[in-house]
Copies of this chain bind each other. A is one copy, B any other.
């Protein structure tokens, strides 16, 4: 199927550098290996080879991972290593209604949108209007805006959503939103909270324990790239050591007296 105007293209160079662009007449991509006329992409196919002045390049279809990693960011983003397990653990799938507190640059929002598509919906909130504008632009470019509603929200302010399948939080003080979560989530729904410090997940875990959540657990994901090379395969020398801890729980409305969870 040929690339059409407005389609996203990942331009991939031999040195491993990539550029996320939109096929559009009158636009040009400038790289350290030469320019690429983005109108010329229309009618080409994903997988095609094109020639920049100093290098060949491939036109690839961007993956969700690519879309996430290529957002224009003003803040730390949630990484694919964390998003992948989060989606499986929170049971976010096609058709789900998901509340996201802390839109940020919209990286996680893109992945949530594609996970609930075509019939689900992501209701995403941030306290900063400028972040919402950044996220909107990122979501539009990634083709994910149709599945997302972006809204400004004060800390602690409730959201109008009821019966959400899942609530995902990426904010510094998630415990301040405990009433927001409880009012928005369905009974049996799942919560994931992402935070960089031990202190935050400990405090949020305590808050969840006292508010009708069970199956509370946390984890950290490490993604270690490996270089698979003939006769000299090894891990890379530098890696991301830490982004955020992932805290998970299920809402049951009220916790049974004496329902103690086991501890290692």
Contact = CB atoms under 8 A, between A and B. Distances in A.
A90 to B, nearest CB: 7
A223 B112 CA distance: 21
Given A202-B233, A205-B229, A241-B238, A89 B117 contact: no
A156 interface: no
A131 interface: no
- Interface SS of chain A: helix, strand, loop or mixed? mixed
A85 B85 CA distance: 7
B84 A65 contact: no
Nearest to A15: B262
A46 B189 CA distance: 8
A42 interface: no
Contact of A228 (B115, B117, B205): B205
A58 B88 contact: no
A58 B188 CA distance: 9
A109 B228 CA distance: 26
Contacts of A34: none
Most B Cβ at <10 Å: residue of A90, A204, A226: A226
A83 B93 contact: no
A26 interface: no
Given A81-B85, A84-B88, A225 B218 contact: yes
26 contacts: A14-B258, A14-B262, A16-B262, A45-B187, A47-B251, A48-B187, A49-B252, A60-B188, A60-B252, A61-B188, A65-B88, A80-B88, A80-B89, A84-B87, A85-B85, A87-B87, A94-B117, A197-B234, A198-B198, A199-B202, A202-B233, A219-B223, A219-B225, A220-B224, A225-B241, A237-B240
